[in-house]
Structure 1
Amino acid sequence: MLQAALDVVVPFARGRQGRVVVGICGPPAAGKSTLSSALAEALQDVHIGLSSVAVPMDGFHLSNVELDRLGLADRKGAPETFDSAGFVHLLRRLRAGEDLVYAPAYSRTLHESIGGVIPVPSSVRVIVVEGNYLLLEHGPWASVRDLLDLVLYLDAPDEVRQESLVRRQLAKGLDLPEAQDWVSRSDEANASVIAATRNRADLILTR
């Protein structure tokens, strides 16, 4: 999977001048975070020599306090539970090549976004942006696709994803029935929304 991504991204980046923004999209638990981190690290290998950093969309999760206020706590992870306009603004800053941009990340320990933890200096050649909703066509999300030079869609068998998602909810403290309910009711509803956008990607990879 990593090699397939490198086979596409490396010649693409070398064939362009300036910064390249690569998106990795796909349903929950497809392996986007793992692939984006591995890709960013591999691009910096001495034999490739492309400075890179991974920037996750998950850094734009609304806070749990705000989700409670909006009545969206039971839908956390859905498109409307992110600061999508803020995410678009960050992408525009990254494309503009500002001297130094700080991107947020999401903590799976705190279950909250943390601001200013990913420094992106202007010298970085390839930015790997990872997230569920990079290819949506409504609201502020609709601006994202045009801010990405190349988008890889990462898929995985449903049973593999669902097992991983259940383990994720168990780790948060839910019991097994609660975890299974969350996955079937929330995560898989989001997965259906994301799957409908896969035809907008440049390449589809399957885990």
Structure 2
Amino acid sequence: MLENNKSNKEMENSYEPLLQYIEYLYYENQCRTRFQYKLSDHTLGIYPTFVIGICGPVSVGKSTMATLLLKYLNKTMPHIKIKIISTDDFLYSNQELIKKGLMQKKGFPSTYKNTNIINFLKDIKYADAPVEHYIYSHELSDIDPDRKEFMNKPDILIIEGINILQLPVKGIVPISDYVDLSIYIDSNLKLIREWYIERFFEMVRLNKNRPRNFFYKWNYESNYQAKTFAMDIWNKVNLPNIEQNILPTKSRADIVIHLGKDHIISQIEF
């Protein structure tokens, strides 16, 4: 969903109403907070961060949607501080996944530190201090143990990931409890598979000079071998994850955005 694919018509028909809706919900949330403080007879404290969750299948365009919303909201609400984070930053490290026997299911719900995601969202939403988190490195295809970030409390946080609407095991709070607006990005599986293959080869190209990167070696294999490997990952990991864990969460989303060819929005459902 590249920005240069965004026509004026699509902006007018889809993105502008969506941005207006987000702005309305943001200020409604602030008004509700003011009344809650007033009714409870407390001095007005900090406003909770408004959290937008973007979920959907792998390669459907979650991170691009998050980046577009950030850019457009910065224009329509220039006085508001907005940040983005991915749930990939809360994956178990590859070493931990191997130890747990989960490396072949990387990206499944069991491979994320969901309690860490919940604690991060709780702190960023209600506390007024920098919140620490690790960074997932796409160069390493792993959590970078030497790289941490401290996020200062934003007015709006956009969190994207496949697991935002998934129901946890009994006794654990759902991630969605800390999300004020959830958006599910959807498309047909054939298109999503095409986008996954395109992204695989794009990552191969981008990492041709990075020997440490997971995708580096495929620069020295035939396109047939590389595509065969990518399709094997799709069939054994991504497709089962979509069918078993991701697609069933669509009904829990506040908004479902359907994408057609070239990642153009074809329909928005509330």
| TM-score, structure 1 normalization | 0.89
Please name the residue that 1:159 is paired with. 190
Structure 1 residues 91-122: Cα deviation after superposition (integer angstroms, max 9, x where no partner): 111111332123333222210124523x4323
**Post-superposition CA distance 1:60-84 (Å, at most 9, x none):** 1111111111111111111111111
The alignment status of 1:8 with 2:21, answered yes or no, reads yes
Corresponding residue to 1:95 among 114, 125, 131: 125
Distance 1:111 1:141, change over 3 A: farther
Structure 1: 5+ residue stretches without partners:
none
Structure 1 residue 110 corresponds to structure 2 residue 140: yes
- State the partner residue of 2:253: 201
**Equivalence for 2:209:** none
Aligned-pair identity (%): 24
Q: Which residue of 2 aligns with 1:143?
A: 174
Could you list the structure 1 runs, at least 4 aligned residues long, displaced by more than 4 angstroms after superposition: none
Describe the SS at the equivalent of 1:28: coil
More RCO (CA 8 Å, sep 6+): 1
Aligned to 1:183: 234
Query: Which stretch of structure 1 is more off in the superposition, 124-133 or 35-44?
Result: 35-44
Provide the secondary structure at the position in 1 that maps to 2:124. Answer: helix
- Of 6, 20, 26, 2:56 maps to 26
Matched, 1:57 2:87: yes
Note the residue ranges of structure 2 that are not aligned, 5 or more in a row.
1-13, 31-46, 205-214, 219-224, 260-270
Note if contact 1:51-1:125 (Cα within 8 Å) is conserved in structure 2.
Answer: yes
Number of aligned residues: 205
Query: Which residue of 2 is the match for residue 130 of structure 1?
Result: 160
Query: Which string of whole-angstrom CA distances, capped at 9 and with x for unpartnered residues, describes residues 142-181 of structure 1?
Result: 5211111111111123222112222444532372212101
1:188 Cα deviation after fit = 1.0
Cα distance in 1 for residues equivalent to 2:84 and 2:107:
20
Contact 1:94-1:101 within 8 A present in 2 as well: yes
